[in-house]
Structure 1
């Protein structure tokens, strides 16, 4: 279910919004982008309200005056993982704004250029193709529907949170599936308790058998929730359900040879096998 349609206006930080309420009534409103937080005003009949949205992404460089042309700037943007024959999945917001993209697999000390294959902006997903100079491609990780995932089931994630600060090695976090929907019952996402940070975006959410059931995308805006309820959320994070990635993969004709079954193996052994297929994405702007 699509909750809102957001359209650009003549002003760079102002947007027109068509928002669907819980009763399915669609209302018109406006949104303002300030310091990477999108605030949507909701003029409901009972009382005015607002929501704020934020994505997990590195801070955007702010320029107060025009600058002369410079060589392209390269920055670490997020996480990606191999999920098809030479295909890498990540969030759309991880690659948005880039001229070119690269992925670095630290466990193999290999880098590959990436070429965009398909983007699903509505669900914050993108598929890119590895452009190897030589050598074998990383093996794809199995992706399964999230429908079989149960509340409270243990999950783990592998990625590169705060990559500029914490370095280029893989980081592992663990948690559980806290809910099978997002804000106001958004059915496209899972809520997970695994801690995430900027740089985690695009990383896989893996079940107990080492299979992808979601793609990390965002965290709840702590400042907004505190302003509304005087409460700071703890580990309220969201992942796009794997079904939306599977739909993109089904559009490709690639044959996929997945890892042998990791079920029953110790978590440390599963992680050791998966590391070679999860990399850090950088973009050239």
Structure 2
């Protein structure tokens, strides 16, 4: 969703008086739309539905009006309530659950805005218990934005589009619990069938740590990904999760491709305050070219934010998408894994302008994590005669872009 288009639409609506903000009832269909009398209602078929996390969590702040706009909540609640009205046992897809269903509905919602109105377009596919596609379509509904701060317009448009989708499914498939027996276990669903592989919802960085082609990255890079691809340039491959720690914010990924370009860990992982470091990442996916971005800085502190454990501060500039990238010494040794940066926007509001305050997890904690999960890596003695050329070659040779699809 493009923010400028939203701002224009919102400003037009705010200039209009008498905007309505009444939520539609979930069991009340639009005029002229009806479910066939031969269809069981409420329907007892066991149904699971998939909504991309990016669509349900999207929200932003409009500073000039001092309000939060939350389209994601409208999508989540509108779809859920419509599903419950016609399939009372419907539940969101949980790929970790062994619960069984008879139908799976893949929902891909998209917003468009024009002259004070919001339009929801839902593209959908229906799968049976054999994961065969048995129905697909697209439904739209638009409504006046109304009082944008309460999110009613987003809810109503999402609810209505979902209702139209469900009416089509009910009338065409005429589902029953017997016709579509609950034989599909949710944890066996093929995620690739559901993910939109045309465009990633987010990106990050990973780097090779052994000759087996295993990558290390920040765990949050992989959050809510149905499919993750790794690559450089136009080449990419599917990868799978091998190990993860939410506490350390670390993850290891299997590529199943051998490599001789991997980063060794500095033995004993001693950090020298002020030493030069190189950071490589793939920042600002969709804005910058899909090529690695290399920055230089130094270790500015052996500690990070209050309460953080195992992190140090470095000054090489990073951007969104750099998470998971390596912090490399001039000797070509891994010193840390990029995990976060200071939130400049919040501090600017209080009159502080921070510059290049970034944080990485110390490599020694990554080494313990790898050892625990029996993942091989190499350790080398510190090369104190290194230089920028060694650091850059080591870092650039090991990194790949990670793209997350939902």
TM-score, length basis structure 1? 0.69
What is the CA-CA distance between 1:146 and the residue it aligns to? 7.2
CA contact (8 A) 2:266 2:382 kept: no
- Deviation per residue, 1:162-211 (Å, 9 max, x gap): 13211111111011111111112634211111111001100000111111
Q: In structure 2, which of residues 193, 196, 205 is the aligned counterpart of residue 79 of structure 1?
A: 205
CA distance in 1, matches of 2:361, 2:268: 10
CA distance in 1, matches of 2:304, 2:336: 13
CA distance in 2, matches of 1:223, 1:283: 25
**Alignment partner of 1:218: what SS?**
strand
Aligned residues: 225
CA distance in 2, matches of 1:154, 1:35: 38
What is the CA-CA distance between 1:257 and the residue it aligns to? 6.2
Q: Which residue of 2 aligns with 1:212?
A: 334
Q: Which residue of 1 aligns with 2:33?
A: none
Q: In structure 2, which of residues 360, 368, 374 is the aligned counterpart of residue 247 of structure 1?
A: 368
Q: Which residue of 1 aligns with 2:245?
A: 120
Change (3 A) 1:130 1:183: same
What is the 5 A alignment of 1:53-132? 62=72, 64-65=74-75, 66=79, 67=109, 68=122, 69=124, 72-73=195-196, 74-75=199-200, 76-84=202-210, 85-106=212-233, 110-132=235-257
What is the 5 A alignment of 1:1-285? 35=59, 62=72, 64-65=74-75, 66=79, 67=109, 68=122, 69=124, 72-73=195-196, 74-75=199-200, 76-84=202-210, 85-106=212-233, 110-132=235-257, 136-144=258-266, 147-184=269-306, 186-228=308-350, 230-256=351-377, 264=385, 266-285=387-406
Once structures 1 and 2 are overlaid, which stretch shifts more, 269-278 or 212-221?
269-278
Change (3 A) 1:169 1:188: same
CA distance in 1, matches of 2:237, 2:379: 20
Q: Which residue of 2 aligns with 1:11?
A: none
What is the CA-CA distance between 1:247 and the residue it aligns to? 1.4
CA contact (8 A) 1:113 1:131 kept: no
CA distance in 2, matches of 1:260, 1:242: 14
Change (3 A) 1:283 1:62: same
CA contact (8 A) 1:118 1:127 kept: yes
CA distance in 1, matches of 2:287, 2:330: 29
What is the CA-CA distance between 1:63 and the residue it aligns to? 7.1
- Deviation per residue, 1:8-33 (Å, 9 max, x gap): xxxxxxxxxxxxxxxxxxxxxxxxx9
CA contact (8 A) 1:82 1:138 kept: no
CA distance in 2, matches of 1:105, 1:64: 36
Instruction: Decide which structure has the larger Cα Rg and report it.
Output: 2
In structure 1, the gaps of 5 or more residues are: 1-32, 38-60
What is the CA-CA distance between 1:222 and the residue it aligns to? 1.5
CA distance in 2, matches of 1:227, 1:176: 27
- Deviation per residue, 1:61-104 (Å, 9 max, x gap): 95743433375234141000011232101111101100121110
CA distance in 2, matches of 1:87, 1:253: 12
Once structures 1 and 2 are overlaid, which stretch shifts more, 263-272 or 97-106?
263-272
CA distance in 1, matches of 2:313, 2:290: 26
User: Which has the larger helix fraction?
Assistant: 2
CA distance in 2, matches of 1:121, 1:155: 26
Root mean square deviation, CA, Å:
3.1
**Alignment partner of 1:250: what SS?**
helix
